[in-house]
Amino acid sequence: MNVNNAVMNLPDEMLHITLMGGQAKVLLCRTTAMARKAAEIHAPSSTALAAMSRLMTAAAMLGVMMKDDEASVTVTVAGDGPIGKMTAVAHGGKVKVSAAHPEADLPLKKDGHLDVGGLVGRHGRLTVIKDLGLREPYIGQCQLVSGELGEDFAQYFTVSEQQPSLVALGCLVHEGYCLSAGGVLVQAMPGCSEEVLEQLELRSVFFTAISREVADVPLEDLAGAWFDGLDMRILEREPVFCRCDCSREKMEKALIALGRDELRQMIDEDGRAELTCHFCRTSHHFTRQELLDLLERASQ
Ligand SMILES: [Zn+2]
């Protein structure tokens, strides 16, 4: 990374790209500000920040692939590592994330890299739930491959969605601060020629340090260089960001959904309620009177 340019603060965004007239599709994104926002909210360890950032980046990719504005995608990684269960939810490029133990950490690996695979765990499940609004949700699952998340999402796309895919996710962290984050997803479409597949394999080496690559170079320049000679076209670019969509109104609905008995018990035993959103850590307080009002509404 060029230190002089490192302060350029290029914006977070997602590029939708086609290669060779649609034989392959690419999503390329920078998610640095997204990771920093998640770090502000969850105060994760360096390794946990890398894990959460990679998950958010993948969720943003899945989110922007859903064409419907009402649609959302929920990605859960339940590995056997110390970070515990992680969840990210994306509406288009708007993503929120949570982890059971963001404070968990592990020593660096022998190669000096953060041990994301160890923190997430190498055994477990990756689940993707696509909520398509009125229709039945689509649920896809696969076993974790390494817990490093890039390989795990490649496995998910290739096995569960039967869409051969290359995935690279990265987050460069220094003492708990995200210097740079991003990702790339390359998918060969049905009918993709052997020559193009071969070219994509060859060029996948460019993606191995994705977080450094996106740090100080505009994404269109990166794509132009990586996919030179493959008729690279940018179809669309859109912002991606970390934001929670919780509200007091949603918390009220959640309380009402508990049902009369549970609400009554809460009023009698605690005389108040405090609900904290797992995604943005905002606490919502409800007084006894407010709970009584909700109890009234629950009975209607
Ligand atoms: Zn929230």
Ligand 1 centroid to residue 96 C-alpha, Å: 8
CA of 244 to the centre of ligand 1 (A): 5
Question: To which H or E segment does residue 270 belong?
Answer: none
Q: Which fold has domain 3-242?
A: Hsp33 domain (3.55.30)
Beta strands in 153-250 (DSSP E): 165-174, 177-188, 233-238, 241-242
Do the bridges between strand 241-242 and strand 94-99 make them parallel or antiparallel, or are there none, so unpaired? parallel
Q: Are the C-beta atoms of residues 197 and 163 closer than 8 Å to each other? A: no
Distance 250 CA to ligand 1 centre (A): 10
Q: How far apart are CA 148 and CA 168, in angstroms?
A: 10
Report CA(251)–ligand 1 centroid distance (Å): 10
Angle at 68 between CA 65 and CA 72, to 5 degrees: 70
Residue ranges covered by each domain of the chain = 3-242, 248-298
pLDDT at 136: 87
**Which parts of the chain have pLDDT scores under 70?**
1-8, 300
**What confidence score (pLDDT) does residue 180 get?**
96
CA gap 82, 143 in Å, rounded: 18
Q: Please tell me the predicted confidence (pLDDT) of residue 220.
A: 96
Instruction: State in Å: Cα 283 to ligand 1 middle.
Output: 9
The string of pLDDT tens digits covering residues 243-263 is: 999 999 999 998 999 889 999
H helices present in the chain, as ranges = 32-42, 46-65, 116-120, 150-155, 194-203, 210-213, 219-226, 248-257, 260-269, 288-298
| Distance in Å, CA 247 to ligand 1 centroid | 7
Q: How far does residue 282's CA lie from ligand 1's centre (Å)?
A: 6
For residue 34, how far is its CA from the centre of ligand 1 (angstroms)? 15
**Given the DSSP bridges, would you call strands 13-19 and 233-238 parallel, antiparallel or unpaired?**
antiparallel
Check: CB of residue 99 under 8 Å from CB of residue 86: yes
First to last CA, the chain: 60
DSSP 137-155: PEEEEEE-SSSSSHHHHHH
Integer Cα distance of 226 and 224 in angstroms:
6
**Spacing, Cα 280 to ligand 1 middle (Å):** 4
- Which phi and psi angles does 11 have, rounded to 5°? -75, 155
| Each residue's pLDDT tens digit, 16-28 | 999 999 999 999 9
Q: How far is the CA of 98 from the centre of ligand 1 (A)?
A: 10
The rounded Å distance from CA 21 to ligand 1 centre is 41
**Phi–psi pair at 189, nearest 5 degrees:** -85, 160
Report the predicted TM-score, pTM, of the whole model to 2 decimal places: 0.93
Distance 248 CA to ligand 1 centre (A): 10
Domains 3-242 and 248-298 are alike in CATH topology: no
Cα–ligand 1 centroid distance for 285 (angstroms): 14
Spatial strand order of the sheet with 165-174 comes to: 165-174, 177-188, 24-30, 13-19, 233-238
- CATH value of 248-298 in 3.90.1280.10, 3.20.20.140, 3.40.50.1820, 3.10.150.10: 3.90.1280.10
What's the pLDDT at 8? 60
- Give the three-state DSSP class for 272: coil
Q: Output the pLDDT for position 182.
A: 98
